[in-house]
């Protein structure tokens, strides 16, 4: 996979007298992959998100987005068309009185014609499952609906990279499932997806899990490998997903699982096969 975003010896702090939030981070994020960033509160996750599209600039080192350096102010408009961000609170992203007008607002800002705007609105409303909400007032929607509207507004501008900064943290379980299904759909369309979350169940769906501790990357692994180390996850102050905790418990009881399973159906199939061998 080709590299879409490069972090080269990147360090960041909010002013010269404050401590480093991120320290000498080196990472490559590749086209078409889903990367999940995890870590305890205050580890630097949300700062990482804001650096990705130039809301913040590195104090040291560089962040390169498809060849553009975020320190170059003349490149920021190009970078922000490449990298779109969906934030924690969707209410902060609404600017219009209807869902359709809200999606249209971003498209107007990038200079699309009315015909293309209409096509984009219909396409991404369908993609995010909000076609029946286009005439609704955003503030009257449920939490999950609001976040899907916010996602549609960003996705309609067709960024190559979509960043979700704690985008499910204010939602109930039903809303989280709705949003995760939408993120998965967007990823299947070929976008690079970066999710920043404290819900470890969400990391099970991604291609890579990156753990940030005290401003540094301490793990960058596929989910199968990352969730194998339960002690490291707990030491980082993170919760082990129930599905993974169950499998560690089964192994401790001597049940010979040959690997970690990230889907319930896969685990059930494996347990059925083992029981039939007894």
pLDDT at 277: 72
- The verdict on 211 and 228 lying in the same domain is yes
Containing structural domain, residue 270: 241-278
- The verdict on 206 and 78 lying in the same domain is yes
127/57 Cα distance (integer angstroms): 32
The whole-model pTM stands at 0.90
- The verdict on 151 and 259 lying in the same domain is no
- The verdict on 185 and 276 lying in the same domain is no
User: Which residues of the chain are modeled with pLDDT < 50?
Assistant: none
pLDDT at 278: 56
- The verdict on 155 and 259 lying in the same domain is no
- The verdict on 113 and 228 lying in the same domain is yes
pLDDT at 73: 92
- The verdict on 236 and 246 lying in the same domain is no
- The verdict on 29 and 153 lying in the same domain is yes
Q: Where residue 20 sits, what CATH number does that domain have?
A: 3.40.50.300
Q: Could you tell me if 125 and 182 are in contact, meaning their C-beta atoms sit under 8 angstroms apart? A: no
- The verdict on 257 and 278 lying in the same domain is yes
Q: Give Cα 56 distance to the centre of its chain.
A: 18
- The verdict on 140 and 267 lying in the same domain is no
- The verdict on 48 and 106 lying in the same domain is yes
- The verdict on 109 and 229 lying in the same domain is yes
Report the number of distinct structural domains present in the chain: 2
């Amino acid at each position: 996979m080709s590299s879409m975003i490069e972090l080269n010896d990147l360090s960041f702090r909010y002013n010269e007298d404050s401590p480093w939030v991120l320290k000498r981070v080196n990472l490559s994020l590749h086209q078409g992959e889903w990367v999940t960033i995890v870590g305890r509160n205050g580890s630097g996750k949300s700062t990482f998100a804001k650096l990705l599209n130039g809301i913040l600039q590195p104090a040291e080192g560089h962040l390169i987005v498809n060849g553009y350096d975020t320190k170059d102010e003349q490149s920021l408009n190009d970078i922000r068309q490449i990298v779109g961000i969906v934030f924690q609170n969707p209410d902060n992203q609404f600017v219009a009185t209807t869902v359709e007008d809200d999606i249209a607002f971003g498209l107007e800002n990038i200079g699309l014609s009315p015909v293309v705007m209409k096509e984009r609105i219909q396409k991404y409303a369908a993609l995010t499952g909000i076609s029946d909400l286009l005439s609704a007032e955003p503030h009257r929607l449920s939490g999950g609906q609001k976040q899907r509207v916010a996602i549609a507004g960003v996705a309609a501008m067709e960024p190559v990279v979509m960043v979700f900064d704690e985008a499910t943290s204010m939602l109930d379980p039903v809303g989280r499932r709705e949003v995760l299904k939408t993120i998965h759909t967007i990823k299947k369309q070929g976008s690079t997806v970066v999710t920043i979350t404290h819900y470890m169940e969400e990391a099970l769906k991604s291609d890579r899990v990156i753990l940030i501790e005290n401003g540094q990357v301490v793990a960058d692994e596929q989910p199968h490998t990352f969730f194998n180390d339960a002690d490291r996850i707990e030491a980082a102050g993170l919760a082990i997903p129930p599905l993974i905790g169950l499998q560690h418990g089964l192994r401790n009881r001597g049940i010979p699982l040959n690997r970690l399973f990230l889907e319930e159906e896969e685990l059930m199939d494996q347990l059925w096969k083992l029981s039939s061998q007894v």
